[in-house]
Chains A and B, each alone.
Chain A
Amino acid sequence: MTHFDPLPYAIPAFIVLIVAEMIWARRTRRMQAYEMRDTAMSLGLGLGSIVAGLLAAGTIGAMMNAVHAVSPLRIGWHWWAWVACFVADDLAYYWLHRAGHRVRWFWASHVNHHSSQHYNLSTALRQTWTGFLALSFVFRLPLVAIGFEPGMVLTCAAFNLIYQFWIHTEAIGTMPRWFEAVFNTPSHHRVHHATNARYLDRNFAGTFIVWDKLFGTFEPEASGEPIRYGIVRQLGSVNILRAAFHEWTAMLADVAKAPWGSKLAYLWREPGWSHDGSRETSAMIRQRLGGNTLR
């Protein structure tokens, strides 16, 4: 499988931009923008996710090749196929990401990206170690089934991930109006990382914010409302293993304790769901504290 991975080439730029953001935060006295242990956790999780990705790459590639091989459709390596593939991959990413917040099985993998109460460029690198375990790659299999080359899909996915790095910052307010209308931006993504009731489960986009507008999950950033970042029940730990696996262990504990009729629901229902209604989902929080319910 031909596959160009741009991620290693982007890492030096990531480092330079993090240094620049730290200096900006220091100079503007935003001393809550970074915290040393939180940064260590984010970067450690990022490093671990690279290792996890390397371990899983062969299997994922083989599965994509297998699906592509049985498909009668072939799009090929035309220039326009790259454009179409990037857009289609971004749509697949939207649904993967939405499932990552609305289905606890996928949330168990994705939650560590949200477990920081800080929002800075290092948070962007706080990536999952368990994406392969969660089978997140299945969201991209339809792309190879409709004829896109597996290598093209993986390259586009990597560029999508790289795009999302720069939007994890408070250093940029808003971009020009036309850009905010089409692309995911720091403003849109701050909303996504917020725990404020009105912002829960909003703005799942990767590169193009139009998907959220199309599927009813868009919420603009409101001026004058301070954003609280993180997760509804904050992690409260600087233990990297706990950050990587805490939701998996909690979910499996819930499955073990649940009545037989409810066990599977703890895997596929939304985070916060409980068979006895003793917990709160994001919809319940929004109802209690105000805000629109997810359509």
Chain B
Amino acid sequence: MDGPLPLAAALLAVVALIGLARVLGFVARPLLSGPGEAEELAQTLPGGFISCRTELVSDHSGALLRDASGRIAVVAPVGAHFLVRLYDGDWSVTQAPDGQILIAGADFSCRFRLDRGAQNWFDPTDRSRSAAA
């Protein structure tokens, strides 16, 4: 590939393909089928994770889970799929005026609406317990 022209053409093709992906509707947010799917995803965390409490967010686009030792995991959408992260005590968790909670970790962030609010999940007791786990 010599010169700038082929590279410019490739760049144009990239933009066109991204546009086509949008036109064809490949922008959907994934939805969890139920708590079981969230629990299955959480089991892929290093060392495993057996949930004893699972709460899907209101629109099923994520979940929060807690295991018997008090560790908290979050299942969050990324693209058309999900990722799982273990609460390491360093996340920023804030509640927006509209009731949504914003979770920002070192390498991910998500925005959820929980039916029962975020306080049950991220109070100072939980934080210390998770950090110690």
Contacts and interface: CB of A to CB of B under 8 A. Distances in A.
21 contacts: A22-B17, A22-B20, A22-B26, A23-B24, A25-B26, A26-B24, A26-B25, A32-B81, A33-B26, A34-B24, A35-B27, A35-B80, A38-B79, A39-B18, A50-B7, A118-B80, A195-B44, A235-B83, A235-B107, A237-B107, A242-B107
A122 interface: yes
A280 B76 contact: no
Interface stretch (A40-48, A74-82, A139-147, A171-179): A40-48
B1 A39 contact: no
Interface stretch (B8-16, B52-60, B65-73, B116-124): B8-16
A18 interface: yes
B83 A31 contact: no
B1 A118 contact: no
Contacts of A7: 1
B27 A5 contact: no
Q: Looking at chain A's contact residues, is the secondary structure mostly helix, strand, loop, or mixed?
A: helix
A47 B15 CA distance: 11
A244 B117 CA distance: 37
Interface in B19-38: 20-22, 24-28, 30
A32 B83 CA distance: 14
Interface string A36-62: 111110011011001100100000000
B27 A51 contact: no
Most B-side CB within 10 Å, residue of A38, A230, A234, A285 = A234
Given A22-B21, A118-B81, A122-B17, A236 B107 contact: yes
Contacts of A38: 79-80
B6 interface: yes
Contacts of A11: 10, 13
A117 B75 CA distance: 14
B54 to A, nearest CB: 19
B114 interface: no
Q: Which of A8, A43, A122 has the most CB of B within 10 A?
A: A43
A228 interface: yes
Residue of A33, A195, A233 with highest tally of chain B CB at under 10 A: A233
A171 to B, nearest CB: 15
Interface string A62-95: 0000000000000000000000000000000000
A18 B17 contact: yes
B19 to A, nearest CB: 9
A3 interface: no
A43 B78 contact: no
Closest 6 CB pairs of A and B: A236-B108, A35-B79, A234-B83, A117-B81, A34-B26, A35-B80
B46 interface: yes
A279 interface: yes
B133 to A, nearest CB: 12
Given A36-B22, A38-B79, 6 more contacts: A32-B81, A118-B80, A229-B81, A234-B78, A236-B83, A288-B47
Contacts of B43: 289
A43 B46 contact: no
B1 A15 contact: no
Contacts of B44: 195, 228, 232
Contacts of B6: 8
B31 to A, nearest CB: 11
Interface in A231-277: 232-238, 242, 246, 272
Contacts of A182: none
Interface string A18-29: 110011011000
A51 B7 contact: yes
A39 B108 contact: no
Contacts of B25: 26, 31
B64 to A, nearest CB: 16
Interface in A198-239: 228-230, 232-238
A191 B17 CA distance: 26
A288 B48 contact: yes
